[in-house]
Structure 1
Amino acid sequence: MASVHDDRILAALRTLLDRAHLATPGQIPDVVAAAAAELGWTTILHLVDIEQRTLIPFSATGTPPAEPQSIEGTLAGRAFKLMQPVVAHGGEPAVWVPLLDGTHRLGVLRVAVPVGTDLAEPSVEDAYRLLTHLAGHLVAAKSPYGDALAQVARSRERTVATELLWDLLPPLTFGCEGMVISAILEPCYDVAADAFDYSVVDDVAHLAVLDATGHDLRGTVVAAVALAALRNSRREGRGLEDTVRVMDRYVRQQGHGEIYATGVVGRLDLPTGRLRYVNAGHPAPLLVRHGKVVKQLTGGRRMLLGLGREEVVVGEEQLEPADRIVLYTDGITEARDDAGQFFGLDRLVGHLERSAAAGLPAPETLRRLTHDVLDHQKGVLQDDATLVLAQWASGEEHTFTSGLMPASASLGEDGPRR
């Protein structure tokens, strides 16, 4: 069976990196295709749509149009959900490879190879994994420089409020040593005033979820201001208590006593698992341990943001390895069906526990959960629905990239480093 020599792999990667410098976002498929051509391969880039239901083709110039791939029931969707390459058997030899930026799922890359090429041969596997690995970073790096990628991912018009808020949010998934953070916000096209944020600074993970009152642009602006106050305080090195006070002050100034915000702001010490948090009139976070929701985190209570109250009470929780913390807005539990029945806390708990039992990664857990919430309301939410899931000291962060690591890049007999 055909193998791939190192010099050809190097030529392909050099082509990708050299052409990437002056490429626009819309030229990324051409850059990736040119790199693959050095190996005698062809590629089709598929980006996940905003609602995470479909993988949309973004083809290179001059290539035949490709069909969208549903995330449910397709090989492409399986690669996306499991974050592992999936070989297509029968017909043209090809493999679907998850397209990631770090741990953030961007889509998939279909790599087709000549007949007679063994996709399981180590050098071939190394080549398509490395090519896709760099392609994912390229997609993320080029996204801020134009609208082509954003246009591919949307299927209908967005409101101005949605455009404003989504441009302020961090990527939906982040991983580092000892931590995986994933978040999701629905609806994707008519968002009102939910927001989330995270950051890891000096071995401390910062987590937040916010929900401003109102369902118009004013509420969105208040949520954006609260988000900016949070980030400013974090970057200025303020403690948790002072950060909440600063957020309260700016929400009060922007809301003019008419618009307020609830939220949970927390800090998790990664070496020890010590969680400190403040809950400003928000639903209590959930603690998932050994696959079960074992408690609600009911400490750290204070009045909602924007009332000018200075008192701040900090709640604390000591986590155990592999614990999951789930922050959510009331748009999840208060989603109602045609009969007026709430989605409710019990359904939320049941979904989290089933996902844990199935071993689903954090982003896939949230994707399926928000789709269940949407289906409960026939696709039309009465309120924003936002979730943040943080998993500590589980080693899951290494499974995100294992599908893209070359076989030669072994983690060693001791496994992943914590």
Structure 2
Amino acid sequence: MTATEPWLRAFADLAHRSHRAPPDDLPVAVNAALRPLRVSVTIYLVDAEQDDLRPLPEPGRAAPEPLPIDTSLAGRAFTQVEVHAGHGPPPRLWLPIVNGTDRLGLLEAFLPEDVDPADEAPRDGLRLIAGLVGHLVTSKSAYGDGLHRARRSRPMALSAELLWQLLPPLTFATSNTAISAILEPCYEVGGDAFDYALNGATVSLALLDGVGHGLPAVLTTSVALSALRAARRAAADLVGQARAVDAAIAGQWTDARFVTAVLAEFDTDTGALRYVNAGHPAPVLLRQGRAVQTLAEGRRLPLGLRNDRTDVAHVRLEPGDRLLLHTDGVTEARDTAGDLFGLPRLADLAERHIRSGLPGPETLRRISHAVSGYQAGPTRDDATLLLVEWSERAAAITEP
């Protein structure tokens, strides 16, 4: 028997158990599959605000405390998407849990005393298990509330509950492109939303900001997002997508409500980028770790307002380029003195984190927390970021 065969059996056993396992029984199923290897695990999921890793409860076991992402070894494994060995006894491993490249949490694995956590067999075997757990967390979340509840530190507002059901995963990567997004305040979002879709070599992108706050803004953005997707899936170009959103909003409301937006299509083979800016802050282009320009063309009125002309702007990206899209809640956050967070501060933070070699999702998490920390008092507006990285290395480091 090879060293990997017991781990493959455990993987197959967990896959078999998963078919009829309720969402709340996921920790039980994982530990049952690993019991023949004398390994036990705790599953942690990242909370909505991405501050802590929160344990999934398991019957008969005392629940450990949440782990802070910024000040723990487990948090380092999560942020760097790498396996880390913990302090014993007993020996343990921390393994990132992802679905594809979307960071979901961490697997804490307790090993037998006679197993060296540096050995390849337990590391490779537990990587397989952590990968399957990531897929199971994603698929099982649709069947119950326990996995959602475990990721929340407080109740979620109705507007946020609605919007989060519409958004794609926060991270997606291919061989040469990585897309990351983050949205704050995650429990009380207003009208911000993001979207992306890959069709062949073309990535379609959208960042939306509905006028107003709370549920009315989210309803407007939800209609805009649905109209955008319907038009895109009917093979409409950027102009057709914008006009479809115009018609959808105007057809539902007569109070001149609107959505600002950036709509874009990016060819991941050639670097060609086409975009339309409907009354939205201009995206920032970063090249070789430096913010080199804002993409300020392709202007038209916000979506939902009568607009007879929509121009599409064109720009050619270079390998390694990054495009940072943001809503005005980022740059217009104010400190106690009333000073704006501002575009220069946003660009500087992006430059520093990108040059440090952090994965895109971690870059956005840190920028988002910097915006929240800068803001004085309650958040006045959503602050959403969307980062597109045309880089093989940036794509690779999103994967464990």
TM-score under structure 1 normalisation? 0.93
Q: Is the 8 A contact 2:44 2:106 kept in 1?
A: yes
Q: Is the 8 A contact 1:284 1:327 kept in 2?
A: yes
Distance 1:329 1:28 in 2: 37
| Aligned residue number for residue 74 of structure 1 | 72
| Aligned residue number for residue 22 of structure 2 | 24
Distance 1:340 1:108 in 2: 39
State yes or no: 1:50 paired with 2:48: yes
- Report the CA distance between 1:110 and its aligned residue: 0.2
2:59 maps to a residue whose letter is: T
- Report the CA distance between 1:4 and its aligned residue: 7.1
- Report the CA distance between 1:7 and its aligned residue: 2.9
* 1:262-301 mapped onto 2 (5 Å cutoff): 262-301=260-299
| Aligned residue number for residue 198 of structure 1 | 196
| Aligned residue number for residue 65 of structure 1 | 63
| Aligned residue number for residue 324 of structure 2 | 326
| Aligned residue number for residue 390 of structure 2 | 392
- Report the CA distance between 1:38 and its aligned residue: 2.7
- Report the CA distance between 1:161 and its aligned residue: 0.8
- Report the CA distance between 1:350 and its aligned residue: 0.7
1:281-318 residue CA offsets vs partner (Å, 9 max, x unmatched): 00000001100000000111111111121311001110
Q: Which runs of 4+ in 1 moved over 6 A?
A: none
1:103-156 residue CA offsets vs partner (Å, 9 max, x unmatched): 100010000101120122122221111111111111112111221111011111
Distance 1:208 1:30 in 2: 40
Pick from 135, 145, 148: which aligns with 2:146? Answer: 148
State yes or no: 1:346 paired with 2:366: no
2:375 maps to a residue whose letter is: Q
Distance 1:59 1:33 in 2: 12
Distance 2:194 2:249 in 1: 16
Identity of aligned residues (%): 44
- Report the CA distance between 1:338 and its aligned residue: 1.8
1:229-285 residue CA offsets vs partner (Å, 9 max, x unmatched): 111011111111111111111122234233111000000011101000000000000
Distance 1:382 1:102 in 2: 34
| Aligned residue number for residue 125 of structure 2 | 127
2:179 maps to a residue whose letter is: I
Distance 2:319 2:41 in 1: 40
| Aligned residue number for residue 33 of structure 2 | 35
What secondary structure, in the 3-state scheme, does the structure 1 residue paired with 2:37 have?
coil
Distance 2:151 2:4 in 1: 35
1:201-221 residue CA offsets vs partner (Å, 9 max, x unmatched): 111001100001111311110
1:324 maps to a residue whose letter is: R
CA RMSD of superposed structures (Å): 1.3
- Report the CA distance between 1:48 and its aligned residue: 0.4
Pick from 251, 254, 257: which aligns with 2:255? Answer: 257
Q: Is the 8 A contact 2:175 2:392 kept in 1?
A: no
1:20-65 residue CA offsets vs partner (Å, 9 max, x unmatched): 0011211111111112213110000000000000000113321222
Q: Is the 8 A contact 1:249 1:308 kept in 2?
A: no
Pick from 8, 11, 14: which aligns with 2:12? Answer: 14
More divergent stretch after superposition (144-153 vs 262-271): 144-153
Runs of 5+ unmatched residues, structure 2:
none
What secondary structure, in the 3-state scheme, does the structure 2 residue paired with 1:157 have?
coil
Distance 1:65 1:310 in 2: 59
Distance 2:282 2:290 in 1: 16
Distance 2:190 2:123 in 1: 45
More divergent stretch after superposition (59-68 vs 70-79): 59-68
Distance 2:270 2:210 in 1: 32
Distance 2:250 2:39 in 1: 58
| Aligned residue number for residue 87 of structure 1 | 85
- Report the CA distance between 1:379 and its aligned residue: 6.3
Distance 1:70 1:145 in 2: 28
* 1:350-361 mapped onto 2 (5 Å cutoff): 350-361=348-359
Q: Is the 8 A contact 1:4 1:123 kept in 2?
A: no
Q: Is the 8 A contact 2:334 2:376 kept in 1?
A: no
Distance 2:71 2:132 in 1: 27
Q: Is the 8 A contact 1:4 1:124 kept in 2?
A: no
State yes or no: 1:224 paired with 2:222: yes
What secondary structure, in the 3-state scheme, does the structure 2 residue paired with 1:396 have?
helix
| Aligned residue number for residue 175 of structure 1 | 173
Pick from 230, 238, 241: which aligns with 1:240? Answer: 238
Q: Is the 8 A contact 2:188 2:214 kept in 1?
A: no
Aligned pair count reads 400
CA distance 1:302–1:28, shift in 2 (3 Å): same
- Report the CA distance between 1:378 and its aligned residue: 4.2
More divergent stretch after superposition (133-142 vs 269-278): 133-142
Distance 2:342 2:133 in 1: 41
Q: Is the 8 A contact 1:326 1:389 kept in 2?
A: yes
Distance 1:374 1:396 in 2: 25
1:361 maps to a residue whose letter is: P
CA distance 1:394–1:338, shift in 2 (3 Å): same
1:70-117 residue CA offsets vs partner (Å, 9 max, x unmatched): 001101100000000110133210011011001100010000101120
